[in-house]
Amino acid sequence: MIFWEIAKRNIRIHMLRSSLAMLGIVIGVVAIASMGILGNSLVASVSESLSSVGDSVTVTPYSGGGGIGPGGGGGPGGSTSLKLSDQNFQQIKRVTAPNIAIPVYQTS
């Protein structure tokens, strides 16, 4: 067990160097632990903020046409008569069963 005696003697003789080495080890461990905690909290924060983005789905009625003109979406009166019926709303509500479906009347 001569190694332990030599180690204790060197620590006692080089007290400043030993103290600085221990301080460096403590600072390194704290820095690595802090970076890990910061990374985990950042991931949790971003996941929480992004989860609210994808929760809403907007359903708009389709006019049925694709061209320009009456009924095609580009002409006069093409999109003013589009409405969702109560039956359509109930179907949407049934599809989004665990979530809430809220009808919103919007004019433009």
Residue 84: band (very low, low, confident or very high) from pLDDT cuts 50, 70, 90: confident
Exposed e or buried b per residue across 39-75, where buried means at least 16 C-beta atoms within 10 angstroms of its C-beta: eeeeeeeeeeeeeeeeeeeeeeeeeeeeeeeeeebee
Supply the pLDDT for residue 80: 54
**pLDDT tens per residue across span 45-72:** 888 877 766 666 677 766 665 555 554 4
| Domain of residue 37, residue span | 7-50
Find the mean pLDDT for residues 21-39: 97
83 assigned to some structural domain: no
Number of domains in the chain: 1
99 assigned to some structural domain: no
